[in-house]
Homo-oligomer: A and B are copies of this chain.
Amino acid sequence: MSQVRVHNFAVSLDGFSTGDGQSHDAPFGHAGGRLLEWFFQTRTFRQMHGEPGGGAGADEAFARTWGPGIGAEIMGRNKFGPQRGPWEDHEWTGWWGPNPPFHTPVFVLTHHPRPSIEMEGGTTFHFIDATPEEALRQAREAAGGLDVRIGGGPTTVRQFLAADLIDHLHITIAPIVLGRGERLWDGLEGLEERFEIESVTTPSGVTHMTFTRP
């Protein structure tokens, strides 16, 4: 059975996974890059953006697990872009340029479906208005037996956790107090009982936690 996985998903000490005030110029709102500093320094991130170098230690080992075995991604609309409500800017094709780093079908959850967008490099964005269960059914079909990644943001990850659809959750705790934004953990009391949990702090100062099914 293919797995449903979350990778490299950052949370602040106070439980926020994105800041307040997302906009075109601030994809993470007032959090800026602070939640993902550890990730920006990895070889995996650099390669995604065609840059050389990057660390090859524990952070990289975790970051690298993001891609292999994944056949489709599901993301929330706020991860795809800053627009809200009916689509007005039809030219917007995501934050990632003409060749997004996904290289698989990507299902964008939205109450406003629109035609699919085929990008370079194998990424196709599909826009669907669906429950987590139905979105997962479609993504699994598109993934051809491979795993499905839940790409975020916080609302989407939270919904899939609440529906008990996630098999592997990798989060990083950033040592910052964001104060406001979107919370990951709301409504997930007792989540730890469903998973085996392992934690490790790396020299960058973040703590990686993996939640896997027993």
Task: Please report A residues at the B interface, Cβ cutoff 8 Å.
Answer: 11, 13-15, 173, 175-180, 183, 185-192, 197-201, 205-207, 209
Contacts and interface: CB of A to CB of B under 8 A. Distances in A.
Nearest to A34: B192
Contact of A188 (B11, B173, B177): B177
A191 B209 CA distance: 23
Nearest to A209: B175
Contacts of A206: 199
Nearest to A174: B192
A71 to B, nearest CB: 29
Contact of A180 (B14, B189, B192): B189
A83 to B, nearest CB: 27
A111 to B, nearest CB: 28
A178 to B, nearest CB: 7
A209 B180 CA distance: 21
Contact of A200 (B186, B187, B192, B201): B201
Of A14, A198, A200, A207, the most chain B CB neighbours within 10 A belong to A14
Contact of A13 (B15, B176, B177): B15
A205 B197 contact: yes
A200 B209 CA distance: 12
A155 to B, nearest CB: 15
